């Protein structure tokens, strides 16, 4: 029988034990721990959803390996400086002294330490130094968020050179997939049925099982659409509705306009998020909110909006701020309402009291989205619920509906045929200090933006029928209790939607301008095509296949020959799919 130096660790260190977990380790942690020591591999990759407790699990493995004499030293590799200190703090509380301030120029650390915490970039700058340290003592290397080892070829090469001699390597990630073909060092890839090489994990614990176990919080996504108007660099004035079918360029510009601090859209959404935070605080008194911004300028402007909305200052954390770690730690221990950050808290950073988020960034990769949402799912007690506000952008809506989908890193995959290209948004959001080739061009200018409550997404289902900001319909969803079990969330959302639909049926219909028959039919076709586009992003089915399935279900000719009544029937059918196929 083994003895563990860290056997007093809580189920989800530090102090985040979820209801129903085992007295020593959570069930998944114990299962993965046992699997590790049955096989005793040199490399072991654990994929566990953000908030599940990977730090606890890794420290227990390190403790046992030290006890057995398998290793004599530990090196922890993280994506950021802040995470180095977070790991060192966690290890220190269980009797493992880790140096988070180690610098390459030192060459070695104090003998008081069992090991060091370093960043991937730090290792890549001097891999020979870290190789020598690894060779000098039998070392366990813990790769935190190991997908970052492939962020650049030089990083991957450096990590491989530095830690090839390691006695043991433990790979941890909540999101092993990447959006590129950079292989992750020491990770095994196996060819799938389509001939692509796919990353292989030794143990996986996804969001779905973690939610069922009460280890993470349920997340509801509150999506907001609205009217955007902007002037392009060529001087053209364009208007578009976020949440309706748009070209990639139109969507990137409309999204940029929505996030512009000078417009009303982001202010109205943050106002709604703050109302939601007030409601959540009735059940979770220390609940905090996080706005994830695209850049420093926007972050500071969002903080000014929050001061006007709440009467309180917001903590602002910027990626180049030397005091960022201290600010995050102070916010985590306080009862302040809002934190605004640029990427600094997109992954790994542990602020368990975050319950409300505003996704105010133009980044739309699955990796970033999952890590960002991961900041809100860390459960402390049974029933806590998270709420994330986001723009009605098809890419984000699809990712929100796929929260439980487990992805692997796939090499040599084909580029997507549709969907939003992150580079378009990055170029749109990049500040232009000088005119381009045409000297008479004007910079992009947001002219007018307004938000409209679109819908709520939860567990693959969509709820709500659209409403004005500040309406009773919106308040129905903003006022959901902050403490609910996942099945209670779904039941309450269905009830709210049914009540709203019933109220609309009872309400007298407003007198609308009389449209000609061809205008009526054009509007119905536009609505159907928009719903088909949304279903395409959700399911991946081509538009033509969706239209054919609707025809089989409802009957009638192709859409070009269909009557208004037949088109309406198809609209009703696809809306029915959106609610029924998620249960």
Query: In CATH, what number is assigned to the domain containing residue 401?
Result: 3.40.50.300
19 part of a folded domain: no
pLDDT value at residue 222: 94
Between 20-34, 65-79, 234-248, the lowest mean confidence (pLDDT) is in 20-34
Q: Is residue 214 part of a domain?
A: no
Residue 52 lies in a domain: yes
- Of 402, 420, 455, which closes a domain? 455
Of 7-11, 521-525, 558-562, 578-582, the poorest mean pLDDT is in 7-11
Q: Does residue 451 share a domain with residue 566?
A: no
Give the pLDDT of residue 32. Answer: 94
Q: How far is CA 519 from CA 107, 525, 556, 568, in A?
A: 75, 10, 21, 14
Tell me the per-residue pLDDT of 390-436, one tens digit each, with 9 for 90 and over: 999 988 988 888 765 444 333 344 444 434 344 433 444 444 333 33
Q: What is the mean pLDDT of residues 95-124?
A: 92
Q: pLDDT tens for residues 241-299?
A: 888 888 888 888 999 999 999 999 999 999 999 999 999 999 999 999 999 998 899 99
Mean pLDDT, residues 151-173 taken together: 88
Same domain, 199 and 300: no
197 & 291 share domain: no
Q: Are residues 269 and 168 in the same domain?
A: no
Statement: residue 151 has pLDDT above 70: no
One domain, residues 342 and 199: no
Q: Is the pLDDT of residue 116 over 70?
A: yes
Question: 376-386 burial string, b = 16+ CB within 10 Å, else e?
Answer: bbbbbeebbbb
Higher pLDDT among residues 14 and 476, named by residue: 476
Are 183 and 227 in the same domain?
Answer: no
CB atoms within 10 A of CB 308: 10
> What global pTM score does this model have?
0.68
Based on the fold, state whether residues 381 and 450 are members of the same structural domain: yes
Higher per-residue pLDDT: 578 or 109:
109
In a domain, 566, yes or no: yes
Considering the domain boundaries, does residue 317 fall inside one? yes
DSSP labels, 70-120: S-SEEEEEESSHHHHHHHHHHHHTTT--EESS--GGG-S--TT-SEEEEEH
Same domain, 228 and 142: no
Q: Of 455, 490, 507, which closes a domain?
A: 455
Q: Residue 197 belongs to a domain with what CATH number?
A: 3.40.50.10810
List, for residues 434-463, the tens digit of each pLDDT value. 333 323 334 678 999 999 999 998 887 888
Residue 511 resides in a domain:
no
| Contact residues for 243 (Cβ-Cβ < 8 A; gap 6+) | 223, 225, 226, 392, 452, 454
For residue 484, is it within any domain?
no
How many domains is the chain partitioned into structurally? Answer: 3
d(CA 453, CA 471): 9
Strand 219-231 versus strand 445-458 pairing type: antiparallel
- If asked whether residues 205 and 228 sit together in one domain, one would say no
Q: What is the SS3 assignment for 8-71? A: CCCCCCCCCCCCCCCCCCCHHHHHHHHHHHHHCCCEEEEEECCCCCHHHHHHHHHHHHHHHCCC
Same domain as 391, residue 301: yes
- What is the model's pLDDT at position 439? 33
Task: Give CA separation, 119 vs 60, 81, 102, 149, 460, in Å.
Answer: 22, 7, 10, 10, 36
Q: What residues make up the domain containing 55? A: 27-209
Share of the chain above pLDDT 70, in %: 82
Query: If residue 411 lies in a helix (H) or strand (E), which one and from where to where?
Result: strand 410-411
Q: pLDDT band for position 50 (50/70/90)?
A: confident
* Co-location of 335 and 309 in the same domain: yes
Residues 144 and 188 in one domain: yes
pLDDT at 149: 76
Q: What is the pLDDT of residue 495?
A: 84
Of 553, 533, 554, the C-alpha closest to 542 is 533
Judge whether 94 lies within some domain. yes
Q: What is the mean pLDDT of the chain?
A: 81
Q: Which of 455, 477, 510 is the last residue of a domain?
A: 455
Query: Which residue from 131, 139, 90, 144 is spatially nearest to 115, judged by alpha carbons?
Result: 139
């Amino acid at each position: 029988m083994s003895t563990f130096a860290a056997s007093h660790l809580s189920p989800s260190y530090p102090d985040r034990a979820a209801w129903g977990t085992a007295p020593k380790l959570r069930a998944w942690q114990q299962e993965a721990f046992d699997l590790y020591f049955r096989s005793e591999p040199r490399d072991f990759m654990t994929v566990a959803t953000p908030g599940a407790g990977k730090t606890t699990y890794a420290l227990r493995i390190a403790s046992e390996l030290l006890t057995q004499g398998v290793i004599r030293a530990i090196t922890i590799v993280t994506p950021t400086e802040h995470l180095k200190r977070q790991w060192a703090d966690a290890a220190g509380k269980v009797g493992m002294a880790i140096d988070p301030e180690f610098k390459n120029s030192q060459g070695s650390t104090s003998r008081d330490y069992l090991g060091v915490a370093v960043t991937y970039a730090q290792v890549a700058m001097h891999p020979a130094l870290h190789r020598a340290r690894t060779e000098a003592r039998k070392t366990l290397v813990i790769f935190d968020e190991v997908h970052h080892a492939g962020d650049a070829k030089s990083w991957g090469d450096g990590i491989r050179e530095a830690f090839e001699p390691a006695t043991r390597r433990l790979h941890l990630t909540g999101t092993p997939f990447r959006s590129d073909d950079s292989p992750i060092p020491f990770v095994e890839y196996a060819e799938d049925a389509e001939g692509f090489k796919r990353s292989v994990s030794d143990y996986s614990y996804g969001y779905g099982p973690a939610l069922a176990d009460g280890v993470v919080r349920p997340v509801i996504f509150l999506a907001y659409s609205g009217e955007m108007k902007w002037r392009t660099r060529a001087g053209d004035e364009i208007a578009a509705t976020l949440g309706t079918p748009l070209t990639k360029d139109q969507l990137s510009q409309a999204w940029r306009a929505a996030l512009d601090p000078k417009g009303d859209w982001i202010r109205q959404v943050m106002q709604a998020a703050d109302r939601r935070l007030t409601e959540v605080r009735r059940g979770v008194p220390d609940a905090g909110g996080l706005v994830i911004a695209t850049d420093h300028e926007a972050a500071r402007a969002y903080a000014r909006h929050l001061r006007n909305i709440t009467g309180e200052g917001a903590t602002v954390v910027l990626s180049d701020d030397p005091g960022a770690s201290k600010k995050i730690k102070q916010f985590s221990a306080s009862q302040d309402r809002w934190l605004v950050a640029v990427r600094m808290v997109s992954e790994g950073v542990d602020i368990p009291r975050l319950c409300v988020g505003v996704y105010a960034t133009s980044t739309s990769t699955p990796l970033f989205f999952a890590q960002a949402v991961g900041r809100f799912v860390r459960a402390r007690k049974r029933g806590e619920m998270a709420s994330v506000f986001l723009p009605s952008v098809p890419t984000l809506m699809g990712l929100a509906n796929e929260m439980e989908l487990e992805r692997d890193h796939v090499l040599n995959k084909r580029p997507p045929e549709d969907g939003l290209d992150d580079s378009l948004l990055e170029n749109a959001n990049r500040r232009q200090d000088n005119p381009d080739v045409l000297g008479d061009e004007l910079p992009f200018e947001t002219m007018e933006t307004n938000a409209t409550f679109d819908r709520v997404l939860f567990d693959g289902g969509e709820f709500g029928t659209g409403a004005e900001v500040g309406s009773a319909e919106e308040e129905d969803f903003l006022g959901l209790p902050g403490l609910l079990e996942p099945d209670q969330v779904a039941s309450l959302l269905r009830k709210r939607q049914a009540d709203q639909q019933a109220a609309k049926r009872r309400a007298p219909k407003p007198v609308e301008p009389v449209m000609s028959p061809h205008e009526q039919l054009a509007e119905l076709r536009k609505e159907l095509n928009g719903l088909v586009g949304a279903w395409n992003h959700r399911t991946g089915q081509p538009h033509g296949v969706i239209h054919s399935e609707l025809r089989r279900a409802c009957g009638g000719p192709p859409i070009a020959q269909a009557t208004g009544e037949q088109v309406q029937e198809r609209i009703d059918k696809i809306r029915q799919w959106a609610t029924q196929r998620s249960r």
